[in-house]
């Protein structure tokens, strides 16, 4: 058995099935992902929580840089109190998605700084209807924008106008400027 398979089996036990704790939260995932290349500072922490309040059940998924601590990825979902089973099902699917994606990144030796782009694309595909609408139009609008998982394919993201590059002079004006 390879070392990464042993590690993967160890992390599978991190999923809790216990009830909510004293804060009315349940931690489902607390996963660290280190880079397999030479960039030792490219490691990340991914956490998945389910919380229950008097009004709703919420699911929060965050990813942060392991050393700097800055949040680089976050999703927030909410459901009604009577939808606990549905929320638990979404949590299990998210847990599986995160673990499978992390495993693939390590196995295929992808740069870990691409991890959150891949997760965001998969989550947007499957769970966009669960995203909580805000009073900030730009955030609500961003839920529907197509996500480019691998920024190496488009340094400008998906919103930069596309054109075919024929020469260095193709965009010059008549004066050659």
Residue 9 has what pLDDT? 44
Q: Is residue 165 part of a domain?
A: no
- CB contact at 8 A, 158 and 147: yes
pLDDT tens sequence across 140-158:
888 888 877 776 676 655 5
Whether residue 172 has pLDDT greater than 90 = no
pLDDT-derived band at 128, boundaries 50, 70, 90:
confident
How many domains does the structure of the chain reveal?
1
Question: Which value, in Å, is the radius of gyration of the alpha carbons in the chain?
Answer: 20
Q: Is residue 61 part of a domain?
A: yes
Matching residue, tokens 């809790």? 16
pLDDT tens sequence across 22-70:
777 877 888 888 877 766 678 889 999 999 988 999 999 999 988 887 8
Closest C-alpha among 62, 48, 41 to residue 120: 62
Instruction: Tell me which residue range forms the domain holding 86.
Output: 22-153
According to DSSP, residue 133 is labeled P
Q: Is residue 1 part of a domain?
A: no
In the structure encoding, which two tokens stand for residue 120, read together?
């965001």
Matching residue, tokens 């601590």? 69
Q: Is residue 5 part of a domain?
A: no
Higher model confidence: residue 177 or residue 92?
Answer: 92
Rounded-to-integer distance, Cα 171 and Cα 26, Å? 56
Rounded-to-integer distance, Cα 33 and Cα 42, Å? 9
Matching residue, tokens 């030479």? 38
Cα separations in angstroms, 156 against 118, 130, 146, 151: 17, 28, 13, 8
Closest C-alpha among 91, 121, 95 to residue 14: 95
In the structure encoding, which two tokens stand for residue 69, read together?
């601590």
Q: Is residue 161 part of a domain?
A: no
In the structure encoding, which two tokens stand for residue 144, read together?
């529907």
Which helix (H) or strand (E) covers residue 115, if one does? helix 115-127
Q: Is residue 176 part of a domain?
A: no
Q: Is residue 94 part of a domain?
A: yes
Q: Is residue 166 part of a domain?
A: no
């Amino acid at each position: 058995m390879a070392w990464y398979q042993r590690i993967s089996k160890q992390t599978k036990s991190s999923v809790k099935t216990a009830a909510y704790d004293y804060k009315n939260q349940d931690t489902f995932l607390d996963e660290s992902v280190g880079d397999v290349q030479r960039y030792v500072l490219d490691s990340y922490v991914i956490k998945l929580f389910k919380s229950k309040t008097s009004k709703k059940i919420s699911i929060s998924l965050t990813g942060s840089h392991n050393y700097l601590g800055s949040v680089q990825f976050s999703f927030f979902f909410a459901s009604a109190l009577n939808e606990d089973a549905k929320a638990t099902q979404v949590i299990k699917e998210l847990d599986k998605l995160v673990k499978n994606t992390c495993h693939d990144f390590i196995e295929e030796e992808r740069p870990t700084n691409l991890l959150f782009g891949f997760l965001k694309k998969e989550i947007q595909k499957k769970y966009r209807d669960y995203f909580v609408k805000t009073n900030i139009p730009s955030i609500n609008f961003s839920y529907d924008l197509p996500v480019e998982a691998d920024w190496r394919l488009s340094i400008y993201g998906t919103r930069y106008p596309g054109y075919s590059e024929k020469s260095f002079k193709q965009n010059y004006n008549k004066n050659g400027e």
